Structure 1
């Protein structure tokens, strides 16, 4: 269980690019990073409008001299300081992630980047190579993966509780963009602009989340080929999709299915993952993240609850408040940021941690590759393609 004790000797000096006032995800980045005193926010380039970013940074109690007009200035000036930043989180629109991550790595910084890491597998592999070269940690904010029941599912599957894995059914299908809300909402507008959002909308923005969950709890499964179809029900979003279906064949003969959508009218969030084995099935729904549904063939359904002593020790290690109390997305992000900090600290000390998993640069590459293959299949007429 987490008691708030220090994970590392001192907090990592940390900055943000983006995440200013009006950002959908800036606050959760800061809350998660600062939760366990693993990071200290000392600088930032919070906004594309420098004056607005400086004003916001000062309200976060950041020294006004370290509220910079842009990330290039920040990286340059912070390198001159003995107490300069050691890590940066990138909370900007998709089209900027590649160049900012690259610049941060060249500046010798650890990185936490919003997904997608970039637009193409070629760019992603370049960043992976650079991260290895510079010996820096790159974390990707697949923020749902830090829920402790995800770890419970991982341990149950590894322990053989489900038997041979046959089917993985995934979805992230909400209804909040059933109409063209981007006409009035700036934070949505860029998501449907290919120049800023990249080659996809819901595949990259939504579908990659359950895909990463599947990689966490089923690390042994590798995609062999897939088929994808995508639609733009709100016609002004074309060529980007607001709905997509992907079917995947894994190398062990299992089958996977992903529904990505923002036009599932009436759905609040709609992210679920169900894993079907030869003996039993598991299902996790992010709107009820404290429960894991466990179904053994021929027996009554079991609802496993977060924080209870019948869970695997690895799952209980992520517990923050004990059984019976509800935990949520902020706790999940905090668990991930704690892992980012432990990984960064280990690298700084020249150590390697073999058993620590977190959404790393490989996860970033994997997400980009999945989207790229889905788009390739859909644009060729929803045909089966070998996974590249």
Structure 2
């Protein structure tokens, strides 16, 4: 919500300082054109300027009542011109009132005319008809300047408000996109796990029970981290270890893992459920197709301002019919792009008998 220049103490102080400067300028003009002393001029111009500053603050509401997008020349001229003329009359009346009141106060406390001033009887400064015209014109111009200043302030506030709303919209869109990507990942893993449990129920009930317990533990930790935008690498590795425990029940000794995390990388932050799809991909499209199985190697370290993670697994040199469409890796890439833009990356390459996933995330320590 946009507010006038006097809405906060800081703004009010700057606003009053601006009108103090206006009072000094008017004093200089009085000293130059009306043979008024600096003391009398300041005593007249400073209070009048400060009081009129609050009258001129109404220009904010005049500007708000006529947004720039809806302004027409004639209507703008009538409203702004009329407001300026009325304010000029108010300024002139204020000048007359304060000029007489200040003189009366000086007489009351026993001060005579200020040295060097040529005043009319009953006045602090001389107010001739020509001076009245000048004061009226000055009041009208000051109000027009106030309208211009408030127009500029409102334009800047509109730009800032538009930028803030755009940023909020981007954040909401990113959060919605991330939520969609998460819903694509979690059910995918759940369905695969339930299929494995179903297959083991008749073959190895004990293994099926252990897999169910591991699955429950995995999703318990997943739910705990699902509301977080970032988790530590240490937490993510624990989730992956539960996933591997589930899959090792299914594949037995055919599936091995080697996880090497540098001490400096333990508390580095990354999006939750980022590594699990990569490991799942390594099993589904690598280990599962190999008769002798293989080892999934996960390494993580901090290099400069980046967290670097690699997931490497053996693959069949001759791809079979189970080559996937890479949804898990593509979702991981989309999540990183949504959160980091071009500041993070994930790439994957396949050689003759090895598949390698490389992830780089800007370093953040929990």
If the TM-score is normalised by the length of the shorter chain, which range does it land in? under 0.3
Larger radius of gyration: 2
Q: Structure 1 or 2: larger strand share?
A: 1
Q: Structure 1-normalised TM-score?
A: 0.20
Which structure dedicates a bigger proportion of its chain to helix? 2
